[in-house]
Amino acid sequence: MPKAPLFDFSHLTTEERIELAMQLWDSLPPHEIPISEGHRALLDQRLAEFEEDGDPGEPWETVLDEIEKKGY
């Protein structure tokens, strides 16, 4: 049986609901956000690959500039 919502947000626009969801997510302390075992394993794998390779890749600004130059 579904729980009744804590708040009535039916009057909010889509944009307002998204903003509310983002604010709620941002209010969580990072150490309290649960991570699934699958995600933990993937993070551990990527960290190990980075530590072995040492190449952090390209800064996001550079990648975004390249994408914009290509017209995507």
Strand residues in 1-72 grouped as ranges (E): none
Say if 5 falls within a structural domain: no
Say if 15 falls within a structural domain: no
**This model's pTM is above 0.75:** no
Say if 14 falls within a structural domain: no
Per-residue pLDDT band at 69 (split at 50, 70, 90): very high
pLDDT per position as a tens digit, 20-56: 999 999 999 989 999 999 999 999 999 999 899 888 8
Residue 64: which domain range? 34-72
Say if 42 falls within a structural domain: yes
Tokens 């009057």 locate to 11
Question: Dihedral (C-alpha) 9, 15, 16, 20: value to the nearest 10 degrees?
Answer: 90
The single-letter code of the amino acid at 41 is A
Say if 52 falls within a structural domain: yes
For the cut 90, the answer to whether the pLDDT of residue 71 exceeds it is no
Say if 72 falls within a structural domain: yes
Say if 49 falls within a structural domain: yes
In the chain, how many domains are there? 1
